[in-house]
Amino acid sequence: MSQVPESPAKRGRRAGPSTTRDAILQAAKRRFARDGFAATTIRQVAADAGVDPALVMQFYRAKDELFAACLEVSPQAMRVMAEAFDGPPDTLGPQIARAFLGLWAEDTEDAPALLAMMRAAVAHEAAGELVRDFVQARLVQVIAPKLGGPDAALRAGLVAAMLMGVVLGRQIVHIPVLTGADIPRIAARIGPALQVVLTGRD
Protein backbone atom coordinates (compact mmCIF):
# COMPACT_ATOMS: atom_id res chain seq x y z
CA MET A 1 0.00 0.00 0.00
CA SER A 2 1.53 3.26 -1.11
CA GLN A 3 1.82 6.10 1.34
CA VAL A 4 0.25 9.41 0.56
CA PRO A 5 2.87 12.11 1.07
CA GLU A 6 2.06 14.48 3.87
CA SER A 7 1.24 18.03 2.92
CA PRO A 8 3.86 20.50 4.04
CA ALA A 9 2.89 22.32 7.21
CA LYS A 10 1.49 25.74 6.59
CA ARG A 11 3.62 28.48 7.90
CA GLY A 12 2.66 31.95 8.88
CA ARG A 13 3.91 34.94 7.00
CA ARG A 14 7.51 35.76 7.86
CA ALA A 15 8.04 38.96 9.72
CA GLY A 16 9.38 41.70 7.50
CA PRO A 17 12.25 44.06 8.31
CA SER A 18 9.95 46.72 9.77
CA THR A 19 8.30 44.20 12.12
CA THR A 20 11.67 42.84 13.23
CA ARG A 21 13.08 46.31 13.78
CA ASP A 22 10.06 47.25 15.87
CA ALA A 23 10.37 44.08 17.96
CA ILE A 24 14.03 44.89 18.66
CA LEU A 25 13.22 48.48 19.57
CA GLN A 26 10.43 47.50 21.95
CA ALA A 27 12.65 44.88 23.60
CA ALA A 28 15.41 47.45 24.01
CA LYS A 29 13.06 49.99 25.58
CA ARG A 30 11.93 47.47 28.16
CA ARG A 31 15.48 46.30 28.90
CA PHE A 32 16.94 49.83 29.18
CA ALA A 33 14.05 50.87 31.43
CA ARG A 34 14.57 47.88 33.73
CA ASP A 35 18.38 47.54 33.82
CA GLY A 36 19.72 50.90 32.69
CA PHE A 37 22.15 51.66 29.88
CA ALA A 38 25.38 50.21 31.28
CA ALA A 39 23.94 46.82 32.29
CA THR A 40 22.04 46.24 29.06
CA THR A 41 23.77 44.28 26.30
CA ILE A 42 22.99 43.74 22.63
CA ARG A 43 22.85 39.99 23.32
CA GLN A 44 20.17 40.49 25.99
CA VAL A 45 18.08 42.70 23.72
CA ALA A 46 18.38 40.15 20.92
CA ALA A 47 17.25 37.34 23.23
CA ASP A 48 14.28 39.41 24.42
CA ALA A 49 13.29 40.13 20.82
CA GLY A 50 13.86 36.52 19.71
CA VAL A 51 16.45 37.40 17.07
CA ASP A 52 20.18 36.90 16.48
CA PRO A 53 22.49 39.57 17.96
CA ALA A 54 23.95 40.13 14.49
CA LEU A 55 20.52 41.24 13.30
CA VAL A 56 20.33 43.84 16.08
CA MET A 57 23.71 45.16 14.94
CA GLN A 58 22.46 45.22 11.37
CA PHE A 59 19.67 47.63 12.30
CA TYR A 60 21.57 49.53 15.01
CA ARG A 61 25.35 49.62 14.62
CA ALA A 62 26.07 50.14 18.33
CA LYS A 63 24.34 50.15 21.68
CA ASP A 64 24.51 53.95 21.70
CA GLU A 65 22.52 54.08 18.47
CA LEU A 66 19.97 51.62 19.81
CA PHE A 67 19.53 53.72 22.93
CA ALA A 68 19.17 56.89 20.88
CA ALA A 69 16.35 55.23 18.94
CA CYS A 70 14.68 54.36 22.24
CA LEU A 71 14.55 58.03 23.19
CA GLU A 72 12.02 58.67 20.45
CA VAL A 73 8.85 59.30 22.38
CA SER A 74 5.48 59.64 20.75
CA PRO A 75 4.21 62.89 19.20
CA GLN A 76 1.32 62.74 21.67
CA ALA A 77 3.76 62.93 24.59
CA MET A 78 5.39 65.99 23.09
CA ARG A 79 1.99 67.62 22.71
CA VAL A 80 1.10 66.85 26.31
CA MET A 81 4.31 68.49 27.53
CA ALA A 82 3.85 71.58 25.39
CA GLU A 83 0.09 72.01 25.88
CA ALA A 84 0.43 71.77 29.67
CA PHE A 85 1.71 75.35 29.53
CA ASP A 86 -1.32 76.65 27.63
CA GLY A 87 -3.74 76.70 30.56
CA PRO A 88 -4.74 79.53 32.92
CA PRO A 89 -1.62 81.18 34.44
CA ASP A 90 -2.96 80.83 37.98
CA THR A 91 -3.14 77.03 37.79
CA LEU A 92 -0.08 76.22 35.68
CA GLY A 93 1.89 74.57 38.50
CA PRO A 94 -0.54 71.76 39.36
CA GLN A 95 -1.53 71.37 35.71
CA ILE A 96 2.08 70.88 34.56
CA ALA A 97 2.76 68.45 37.41
CA ARG A 98 -0.21 66.27 36.48
CA ALA A 99 0.66 66.28 32.78
CA PHE A 100 4.37 65.60 33.20
CA LEU A 101 4.13 62.95 35.91
CA GLY A 102 1.28 61.28 34.04
CA LEU A 103 3.61 60.59 31.10
CA TRP A 104 5.86 58.56 33.40
CA ALA A 105 3.09 56.36 34.78
CA GLU A 106 3.93 52.68 34.39
CA ASP A 107 0.98 51.94 32.12
CA THR A 108 1.66 54.63 29.52
CA GLU A 109 3.17 54.10 26.07
CA ASP A 110 6.16 56.38 26.64
CA ALA A 111 7.10 55.34 30.18
CA PRO A 112 9.69 52.67 29.17
CA ALA A 113 11.63 55.09 26.94
CA LEU A 114 11.46 57.91 29.48
CA LEU A 115 12.59 55.68 32.34
CA ALA A 116 15.44 54.32 30.23
CA MET A 117 16.49 57.87 29.53
CA MET A 118 16.48 58.75 33.24
CA ARG A 119 18.41 55.66 34.33
CA ALA A 120 21.09 56.03 31.69
CA ALA A 121 21.61 59.75 32.21
CA VAL A 122 23.00 59.26 35.71
CA ALA A 123 25.41 56.47 34.74
CA HIS A 124 26.66 57.00 31.19
CA GLU A 125 28.28 60.08 29.68
CA ALA A 126 26.97 59.55 26.16
CA ALA A 127 23.46 58.90 27.45
CA GLY A 128 23.68 61.99 29.64
CA GLU A 129 24.49 64.04 26.56
CA LEU A 130 21.42 62.64 24.80
CA VAL A 131 19.26 63.51 27.79
CA ARG A 132 20.65 67.04 28.01
CA ASP A 133 19.82 67.53 24.36
CA PHE A 134 16.32 66.14 24.94
CA VAL A 135 15.64 68.45 27.88
CA GLN A 136 17.08 71.51 26.17
CA ALA A 137 15.39 71.04 22.82
CA ARG A 138 12.08 69.42 23.79
CA LEU A 139 11.33 71.01 27.14
CA VAL A 140 13.17 74.29 27.69
CA GLN A 141 13.10 75.66 24.16
CA VAL A 142 9.47 74.67 23.65
CA ILE A 143 8.02 75.99 26.89
CA ALA A 144 10.21 79.01 27.67
CA PRO A 145 8.63 81.19 24.95
CA LYS A 146 5.22 80.48 26.44
CA LEU A 147 6.31 81.73 29.87
CA GLY A 148 7.90 84.97 28.71
CA GLY A 149 10.33 87.12 30.67
CA PRO A 150 14.12 87.40 30.62
CA ASP A 151 14.69 84.25 32.71
CA ALA A 152 11.95 82.10 31.22
CA ALA A 153 14.38 79.39 30.09
CA LEU A 154 15.86 79.16 33.61
CA ARG A 155 12.41 78.91 35.19
CA ALA A 156 11.38 76.24 32.70
CA GLY A 157 14.58 74.31 33.36
CA LEU A 158 14.10 74.46 37.12
CA VAL A 159 10.56 73.15 36.81
CA ALA A 160 11.78 70.29 34.60
CA ALA A 161 14.51 69.46 37.13
CA MET A 162 12.05 69.47 40.04
CA LEU A 163 9.69 67.12 38.25
CA MET A 164 12.50 64.81 37.16
CA GLY A 165 13.57 64.64 40.79
CA VAL A 166 10.12 63.40 41.73
CA VAL A 167 10.26 60.76 38.99
CA LEU A 168 13.73 59.68 40.12
CA GLY A 169 12.61 59.28 43.71
CA ARG A 170 9.32 57.61 42.88
CA GLN A 171 10.11 55.24 40.02
CA ILE A 172 13.84 54.59 40.16
CA VAL A 173 14.93 54.98 43.80
CA HIS A 174 11.44 53.85 44.92
CA ILE A 175 11.13 56.01 48.03
CA PRO A 176 8.17 54.44 49.88
CA VAL A 177 6.31 57.67 50.69
CA LEU A 178 6.43 58.59 47.00
CA THR A 179 5.55 55.19 45.59
CA GLY A 180 2.65 55.03 48.02
CA ALA A 181 1.16 58.30 46.76
CA ASP A 182 -0.72 58.55 43.48
CA ILE A 183 0.00 61.16 40.83
CA PRO A 184 -2.94 63.49 41.62
CA ARG A 185 -1.86 63.68 45.26
CA ILE A 186 1.77 64.38 44.37
CA ALA A 187 0.76 66.96 41.79
CA ALA A 188 -1.41 68.73 44.35
CA ARG A 189 1.54 68.99 46.74
CA ILE A 190 4.27 70.01 44.31
CA GLY A 191 2.04 72.15 42.09
CA PRO A 192 2.13 75.30 44.28
CA ALA A 193 5.95 75.15 44.43
CA LEU A 194 6.11 74.89 40.65
CA GLN A 195 3.73 77.82 40.43
CA VAL A 196 6.12 80.02 42.40
CA VAL A 197 9.05 79.09 40.18
CA LEU A 198 7.08 79.59 36.97
CA THR A 199 5.64 82.98 37.86
CA GLY A 200 8.34 84.31 40.18
CA ARG A 201 5.61 85.26 42.66
CA ASP A 202 4.97 83.85 46.16
- Domain borders along the chain are 17-70, 75-199
Quick check: do 17-70 and 75-199 share a fold? Answer: no
Assign 3-class secondary structure to the chain.
Answer: CCCCCCCCCCCCCCCCHHHHHHHHHHHHHHHHHHHCCCCCCHHHHHHHHCCCHHHHHHHCCCHHHHHHHHCCCCHHHHHHHHHHHHCCHHHHHHHHHHHHHHHCCCCCCCHHHHHHHHHHHCCCHHHHHHHHHHHHHHHHHHHHHHHCCCCHHHHHHHHHHHHHHHHHHHHHCCCHHHHCCCHHHHHHHHHHHHHHHHHCCC
Q: Are 131 and 124 in contact (CB under 8 A)?
A: no
Please give the pLDDT value at position 145. Answer: 81
User: In this structure, which topology does domain 17-70 adopt according to CATH?
Assistant: Arc Repressor Mutant, subunit A (1.10.10)
**CATH for the stretch 75-199:** 1.10.357.10
Please give the pLDDT value at position 8. Answer: 42
Report the chain (202 residues): mean pLDDT per 10 consecutive residues.
41 60 92 84 96 94 85 77 78 89 82 81 77 69 78 87 91 92 93 89 60
- Tell me the pTM: 0.69
